Amino acid sequence: MSAKDSNSSSQKKNASQSSSETDGADSSPHASLNTSRSVSLDESPDTVLLWFRRDLRLRDNPALSAAANEADRVVCVFIHDPSSEEPWAPGEASDWWLHHSLASLQEQLAKHDQKLIFRAGESLSELRSLAKSVKADAVYWNRIYEPAAIERDTKIKKALRDDGLHVKSFNASLLFEPTAHETQSGDPYKVFTPFYKQLLAKDDPHPAFEVPKEIPVPKGFPDGLELDDLNLLPKIDWAGGMREAWTPGEPGARQRVLEWSQDGVRAYDDRRDLPGEDGVSRLSPYLHFGEIGPRDLWHHLSALRRKSRGKASDNIQAFLRQIVWREFAHHLLYHFPHTTWEPLRENFADFPWESGGENLKLWQKGQTGYPIVDAGMRELWHTGYMHNRVRMITASFLVKHLLITWHEGAKWFWDTLVDADLANNTLGWQWVAGSGADAAPYFRIFNPILQGKKFDSHGAYVRRWVPEIAKLDDKHLHTPWEASDEVLEKAGIKLGKTYPEPLVEHGFARDRALSAYDKIKGGG
């Protein structure tokens, strides 16, 4: 039996269905292009060039499954081409994660006697060069649904087909295609709840693909770079905190899913807003880099929910709802690609934002004088991550207390988050600013004092990340400026020296924000 026949016929059928459903989507930029000069869809390719991108896993990888099932030889490649993703090329924290994820993928492929070939440069040129050197007759990849990637990949697909190559692309990063949901009038959704209800009414997402039993190797591997040659790691090592916090790669993702399944997800809705506890999944970077697929995660947790009862089942469903929020973010970005920089609600184009200046720098450094805000910004800098509740608090503080444009916040998060995802980042910042889909109304202004007292009532989170005020009692921890001189002295605090005074008084900031909102109210 040949290598391409080694997997089950059902896996072959599933891989074929995955490709045909997605490549043929009406009006999709990924829809099939002219195939007159390409290999017939009914022929099995001899050699497939498998282009890894943001799908750095072996399990539930439809492009990999199709290549392993259909080809006699598979050549795996990763091309470092950040310029093609401008203006949202990956930030430094993302590059750090990518390096370690690629190293992990190398190890996983080596267990199948495979290699991951590294190249750097313009993607189309490198694919053409590799295809020629290994005599490939097909190129397979999993899609990325971001504006720059769609434009790049559409051009590459046409160019390779014009070269006579057979090209297939697959959906590995979403439960469903971003074109799979529409309102009764045929428009994209802008409100989450009806989107969520429609998704739940559909049949379950496609089952996860198993790791192929064999990944047929080529007669010889082409030349490539070393992973270190991609220069993804920082020249000055500032990543110690991230190394302590994370294990990038598919094995790290699967281990986190197992840990999360044993306890955390069963209490998710009860604990998810408490940053001082281990109450959230921390799976977002693994999902972004494709170290676990959302369909795999969905089916795993859905099965767990069916075995659970009462509150535990409800908590698991609450987490599944968050996976749908991720889906909604990608739906919005696909249909409204301009929103990475422009407000979805057009009236916000005239909002009187202030320039960043020194206040922006103090926010970035976690020196605002509001402990819950500062704790979040310091957690972000140290670990490349921030608890979701605190993301909302820190973002609201920037755009509503300081009136600094959400663009500055989006750029900072993009560079410092290991889970920086363009769809999620865009949705989150536009939601907080009040300018996006299903957005929080602008007059909803998070009070960082009350938020801290409510969700970090005993100060576990603040004391960890703002140690200079850790000795304050719970009563004054979130409002150190209200403490008496005696209390401050006992805690070793000198306001304005060892810890800053508040950048802005909350009541004043709230009134100023509402006044600014009044100037644009009624539009959009």
Which CATH number is 263's domain given? 1.25.40.80
User: Helix (H, G, I), strand (E, B), or coil: what is residue 442?
Assistant: coil
Same domain, 397 and 447: yes
Q: What confidence tier does 356 reach under pLDDT thresholds 50, 70, 90?
A: confident
CB neighbourhood size of 34 (10 A): 9
CB-side exposure of 331: number of CA atoms within 13 Å?
25
Same domain, 369 and 307: no
How many independent structural domains does the chain possess? 3
Same domain, 166 and 275: no
Q: What confidence tier does 440 reach under pLDDT thresholds 50, 70, 90?
A: low
The mean pLDDT value of the chain amounts to: 90
| Per-residue pLDDT reduced to its tens digit, 402-432 | 999 999 999 999 999 999 999 999 999 999 9
Same domain, 168 and 178: no
Which of 137, 115, 304 lies closest to 225, judged by CA? Answer: 115
Same domain, 162 and 249: no
Out of 120, 155, 173, a domain closes at 173
pLDDT at 35 over 50: no
Q: What confidence tier does 520 reach under pLDDT thresholds 50, 70, 90?
A: confident
Asked if residue 78 is part of any domain, the answer here is yes
Same domain, 104 and 30: yes
Same domain, 361 and 321: no
Same domain, 164 and 179: no
- Residue 392 belongs to what domain range? 346-518
- Give this prediction's pTM: 0.91
Asked if residue 441 is part of any domain, the answer here is yes
Q: What is the mean pLDDT of residues 146-163?
A: 97
Asked if residue 179 is part of any domain, the answer here is yes
Asked if residue 199 is part of any domain, the answer here is yes
Asked if residue 213 is part of any domain, the answer here is no
Which of 379, 399, 341, 326 lies closest to 174, judged by CA? Answer: 326
Same domain, 149 and 274: no
Same domain, 192 and 280: yes
Q: What is the mean pLDDT of residues 177-205?
A: 95
Asked if residue 120 is part of any domain, the answer here is yes
Q: List the CATH number of the domain containing 26.
A: 3.40.50.620
pLDDT at 100 over 90: yes
Same domain, 192 and 60: no
pLDDT at 229 over 60: yes
Same domain, 322 and 363: no
Confidence at residue 280, expressed as pLDDT on a 0 to 100 scale: 95
CA–CA distance, 33 with 19 (Å, rounded to integer): 14
CA–CA distance, 2 with 74 (Å, rounded to integer): 13
Q: What confidence tier does 29 reach under pLDDT thresholds 50, 70, 90?
A: very low
Asked if residue 305 is part of any domain, the answer here is yes
Phi-psi region of 438 (alpha: psi -120 to 50; beta: other; left: phi over 0): left
pLDDT at 282 over 70: yes
